[in-house]
């Protein structure tokens, strides 16, 4: 059994560390039986109970609030194995990480729980001795039961998704009478003028009014009394049209009036933020709009949050600049793509099987994700040599094919009930964990560099 050197931590009368037990990691406590058992050497599987005890004994392994920091970066880990690589890259930059970050959609598609997600981060920071702290984000939550679930586990960031209460046709109702506050008025934000005609106000109220009422209801119910140590992000990004400056201003000003303390807001930006590929649109136009959104955020004392941030290299410099290095950026699926790129490079047979399965499953996966993938543009895998397979991950269509079919790939079963790919994949990734960590370090490092994030001292 190989001890992870950086995982060795002393407690009064005991030493606690993690070790590689071949097909899995285990936790060992030598001395006083802090995790149960009797005095001596006790070995434990990485269960939720062990994670809870670890968080109690070693506070750096428990999540904390991070949105109040200048820069924060979300690294959703769909597989529960990316965190050691994420730690490696985050250690080199001056930014606060959110290592636990999943939406209910992702949990459903990967058959994981919030316990799994949080525990994977706890064990990773303990193993690697990453003591800077990290956040845990209940991402894109819409229902009170889901919010309660994440908060009760100690998640430190709630991303409240208002999309179900945003009415593009302006048919929504708002409890507040705000006509006298906005109609015919012009507001100034860092020299930028934002005006509301009576008609524009009616429209904005109809689109966002109900969403604002819902935000206040959820804030008052869960966060106002401070019983949970948690920051609030408001997400209005999952809409069909970009958020206009007037809309963002209205939402920001109303949140303040309603007493909703928000740390980040995620608007929907101009252009397309599709999963796992670079920005689609005119970066200059993005820059112009980001400037206004960032100014509004500054005026109201919160940070802009950029979702679907994986691989948006062409606009990152503008995010960094216009926000004056005050941002939250979320990435999620990109670590899954990096994991699959390594499969393509080292186990071409397995990759070919999965690729063909993904092609068959694409129509089903597409129900959950907005992408414009052209399957016909993906090279026929039968005509590619093994050495050419990793290059598929430089092709946007092939990237999206693998990106959105993750849930189906991981849950596919054989006739006898065993997993068709999952067991082989996890065994493969365990054997290639060093390559995976290196790939993540490079790939996520490129994100942070393009954002202009300063290096850690």
Which DSSP state fits 426? H
Q: Beta-strand (E) ranges in 12-106?
A: 14-20, 25-31, 40-44, 71-75, 96-103
Least distance between Zn ion and beta carbon 237 (Å)? 4
User: In the set 275, 307, 420, 447, which binds Zn ion (CB under 5 A)?
Assistant: 307
- Residue 158's contacts (CB-CB under 8 Å, 6 or more residues apart) are 137, 138, 141, 147, 150, 151, 222, 223, 230, 231, 232, 233
Phi, psi of 165 (to 5 degrees): -110, 5
Which residues, in sequence order, are bridge partners of residue 189? 192
Which one of the spans 51-59, 190-198, 235-243, 270-278 is the region binding Zn ion (CB under 5 A)? Answer: 235-243
Which residues, in sequence order, are bridge partners of residue 387? none
Least distance between Zn ion and beta carbon 331 (Å)? 11
The whole-angstrom distance between residue 160's C-alpha and the CA centroid of its chain comes to: 13
Minimal CB distance residue for Zn ion = 307
Which residues, in sequence order, are bridge partners of residue 96? 72
- Residue 30's contacts (CB-CB under 8 Å, 6 or more residues apart) are 14, 15, 16, 40, 41, 42
**Residue number with CB closer to Zn ion (112 or 307):** 307
Task: Give the whole-angstrom CA distance, residue 186 versus residue 175.
Answer: 23
Which one of the spans 76-84, 144-152, 232-240, 344-352 is the region binding Zn ion (CB under 5 A)? Answer: 232-240
**Residue number with CB closer to Zn ion (25 or 233):** 233
Q: Would you name the residues annotated as active-site residues? A: 139, 233
Task: Give the whole-angstrom CA distance, residue 268 versus residue 137.
Answer: 19
106 is an interface residue for Zn ion by CB under 5 A? no
Least distance between Zn ion and beta carbon 268 (Å)? 8
**Residue number with CB closer to Zn ion (25 or 137):** 137
- Is the distance from CB of 450 to CB of 312 less than 8 angstroms? no
Least distance between Zn ion and beta carbon 243 (Å)? 12
Least distance between Zn ion and beta carbon 269 (Å)? 11
- Is the distance from CB of 224 to CB of 267 less than 8 angstroms? no
User: In the set 106, 213, 237, 338, which binds Zn ion (CB under 5 A)?
Assistant: 237
- Residue 199's contacts (CB-CB under 8 Å, 6 or more residues apart) are none
**Residue number with CB closer to Zn ion (237 or 254):** 237
**Residue number with CB closer to Zn ion (306 or 358):** 306
Distance from the first to the final alpha carbon of the chain: 34
**Residue number with CB closer to Zn ion (189 or 232):** 232
Which one of the spans 54-62, 182-190, 236-244, 418-426 is the region binding Zn ion (CB under 5 A)? Answer: 236-244
SS (H, E, C) 250-307: HHHHHHHHCCCCCCEEECCCCCECCCCCCCECCHHHHHHHHHHHHHHHHHHCCEEEEC
**Residue number with CB closer to Zn ion (233 or 441):** 233
Which one of the spans 38-46, 305-313, 314-322, 383-391 is the region binding Zn ion (CB under 5 A)? Answer: 305-313
Least distance between Zn ion and beta carbon 266 (Å)? 6
**Residue number with CB closer to Zn ion (221 or 370):** 370
Name the 3-class secondary structure at 40.
Answer: strand
Task: Give the whole-angstrom CA distance, residue 234 versus residue 260.
Answer: 10
Residues 199-228 that bind Zn ion (CB under 5 A): none
Least distance between Zn ion and beta carbon 238 (Å)? 6
Which one of the spans 13-21, 105-113, 218-226, 230-238 is the region binding Zn ion (CB under 5 A)? Answer: 230-238
Least distance between Zn ion and beta carbon 265 (Å)? 11
**Residue number with CB closer to Zn ion (231 or 237):** 237
Residues that contact Zn ion, how many (by CB under 5 A): 2
Given its phi and psi angles, is residue 422 left (phi above 0), alpha (psi -120 to 50 degrees) or beta? alpha
Query: Closest Cα partner for 135 from 222, 255, 263, 49?
Result: 263
Give the binding site for Zn ion (CB under 5 A): 237, 307
């Amino acid at each position: 059994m190989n001890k992870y050197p950086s995982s060795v931590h002393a407690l009064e009368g005991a030493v606690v560390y993690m070790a590689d037990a071949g097909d899995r990691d285990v936790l060992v406590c030598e001395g006083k039986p802090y995790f149960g058992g009797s005095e001596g050497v006790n070995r434990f599987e990485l269960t939720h109970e062990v994670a809870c005890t670890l968080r109690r004994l070693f506070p750096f392994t428990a999540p904390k609030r991070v949105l109040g920091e200048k820069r924060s970066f979300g690294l959703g880990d769909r597989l529960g194995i990316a965190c050691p690589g994420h730690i490696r890259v985050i250690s080199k930059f001056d930014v606060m990480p959110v290592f636990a970050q999943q939406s209910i959609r992702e949990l459903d598609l990967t058959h994981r729980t919030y316990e799994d997600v949080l525990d994977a981060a706890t064990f990773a920071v303990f193993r690697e001795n990453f003591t800077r702290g990290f956040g845990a984000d209940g991402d894109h939550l819409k229902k009170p039961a889901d919010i309660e679930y994440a908060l009760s586990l100690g998640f430190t960031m709630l991303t409240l998704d208002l999309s179900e209460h945003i009415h593009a046709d302006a048919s929504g109702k708002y409890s507040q009478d705000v006509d006298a506050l906005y109609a015919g008025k012009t507001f100034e934000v860092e020299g930028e003028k934002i005006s509301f005609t009576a008609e524009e106000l009616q429209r904005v109220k109809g689109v966002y009014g109900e969403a604002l009422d819902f935000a206040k209801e959820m804030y008052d119910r869960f966060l106002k009394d401070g019983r949970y140590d948690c920051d609030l992000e408001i997400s209005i990004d999952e809409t069909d049209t970009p958020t206009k400056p007037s809309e963002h201003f209205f939402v920001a000003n109303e949140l303040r009036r309603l007493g909703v303390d928000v740390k980040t807001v995620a608007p929907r930006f101009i252009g397309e933020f599709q999963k796992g590929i670079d920005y689609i649109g005119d970066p200059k136009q993005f820059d112009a709009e980001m400037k206004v959104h960032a100014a509004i955020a500054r005026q109201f004392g919160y940070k802009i949050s950029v979702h679907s941030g994986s691989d948006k290299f062409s606009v990152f410099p503008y995010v960094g600049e216009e926000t004056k290095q005050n941002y939250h950026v979320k990435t999620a699926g990109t670590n899954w793509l990096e994991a699959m790129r390594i499969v393509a490079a080292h186990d071409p047979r397995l990759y070919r099987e999965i690729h063909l399965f993904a092609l068959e499953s694409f129509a089903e996966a597409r129900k959950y994700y907005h992408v414009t993938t052209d399957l016909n543009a993906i090279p026929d895998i039968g005509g590619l040599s093994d050495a050419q397979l990793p290059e598929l991950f430089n092709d946007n269509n092939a990237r999206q094919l693998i990106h959105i079919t993750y849930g189906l790939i991981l849950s596919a079963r054989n006739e006898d009930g065993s997993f068709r790919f999952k067991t082989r994949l996890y065994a493969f990734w365990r054997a290639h964990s060093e390559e995976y960590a290196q790939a993540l370090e490079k790939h996520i490092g490129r994100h942070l560099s393009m954002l202009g994030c300063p290096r850690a001292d």
